Amino acid sequence: MTDAIRPRGLRLWLTVAGLLAMGGCAALGLRQPDTATPPLPTIDKPSPKSKASPRADGSTLTDGQAQAALLNENDLGAPWTATGGAATWRDQLLKATTSAGACQRLLDALYTDELLGGPARVAVGLDDADNGAQLRYQIAARRPADVNAALAWLKTMPADCARFTATTQTDITEDVQVGDAPLPQVGDARQGLRVTVAATDRDGRHALLTLDVAAVRVGPDAFALTNGGLGDVPNDATQAAVQIGALRLADIRRQGRAQV
């Protein structure tokens, strides 16, 4: 019989298995690994401004509007803070391959933060140091038709990729499960997923990564987020982020029209 890792031993096992680096914030799984994708910007250090220019009809958010539409740590309250870098579990658990062809796209999108089919216009990361969770939130740089196509694809994931196996770069075997996740009835179209990644080492011991995924279109604008961490991830932060994000996008768009 294999042994399940109890919560207190979870991060110790991940360290031994090479899934967490040693030292500092790495014990929380929130330090950026050397080979990770670039970390999302903090509120104090936003990403470089997009080169997209607003059209005369106001259909594209200005750079200032896009930045203003981002969430910040004050929106979610304590214990959320500006991120210190990409979580170590991103490289070690999300960078994986699967023979279930349709599901590789999902793994890749989760790892690269391109759930809506392309790079973000602006993005931000927030950390919950109490439980090692990380929320990554982005405003899309995609046309509404492209967003709708991405949402339609995400809707197929609970059926097409309900359960599949994957293998990490360090030969950790993963049992990945994907299901629908309810979201607040905001925006014009939305899709939520809950993704669990059960990792098993060569000694048969287990660890669990849980990811809440949300993508929402609000008129011509859209945002996507992941809220993930080791073990269980409280869903209240995901629900709040979706609600606040949709209302803020709609409000910023409304203010822009009023100023024209």
Q: Say what the pLDDT of residue 257 is.
A: 59
> Higher confidence at residue 222 or residue 2?
222
Residue 8 has pLDDT above 90, yes or no: no
Partners of residue 57 on adjacent β-strands:
none
Q: How would residue 233 be classed by pLDDT, with cut points 50, 70 and 90?
A: confident
Lowest mean pLDDT among 164-173, 181-190, 195-204: 195-204
- Domain ranges within the chain, ordered by starting residue: 7-45+54-259
Closest residue by Cα to residue 42 from 80, 86, 82, 70? 82
Residue 11 has pLDDT above 80, yes or no: no
Sequence letter at residue 17: A
Domain 7-45+54-259 CATH class label:
alpha beta
Q: Say what the pLDDT of residue 234 is.
A: 80
**What predicted TM-score, i.e. pTM, was given to this entire model?**
0.80
Partners of residue 224 on adjacent β-strands:
138, 215
218 sits in which H/E element: strand 206-218
Backbone angles phi, psi at 170, to 5 degrees: -100, 20
Q: How would residue 200 be classed by pLDDT, with cut points 50, 70 and 90?
A: confident
Residue 138 has pLDDT above 80, yes or no: yes
In order of 28, 88, 130, 140, 167, the CA distances from 229 in angstroms are: 9, 10, 11, 23, 19
Q: Say what the pLDDT of residue 221 is.
A: 95
Q: How would residue 43 be classed by pLDDT, with cut points 50, 70 and 90?
A: very low
Task: Using CB atoms within 10 Å of the CB of residue 235, give its burial: 0 to 12 exposed, 13 to 18 middle, 19+ buried.
Answer: middle
Lowest mean pLDDT among 36-50, 116-130, 170-184: 36-50
As a whole number, mean pLDDT of residues 44-58 equals: 41
Q: How would residue 14 be classed by pLDDT, with cut points 50, 70 and 90?
A: low
Check: CB of residue 165 under 8 Å from CB of residue 130. no
Structure-derived torsion over alpha carbons of residues 18, 9, 233, 141, reported in degrees to the nearest 10: -10
Residue 147 has pLDDT above 80, yes or no: yes
As a whole number, mean pLDDT of residues 67-94 equals: 92
CB count in 10 Å sphere of residue 43: 17
Q: How would residue 186 be classed by pLDDT, with cut points 50, 70 and 90?
A: very high
Q: Say what the pLDDT of residue 59 is.
A: 61
14 sits in which H/E element: helix 7-16
As a whole number, mean pLDDT of residues 130-154 equals: 94
Residue 39 has pLDDT above 60, yes or no: no
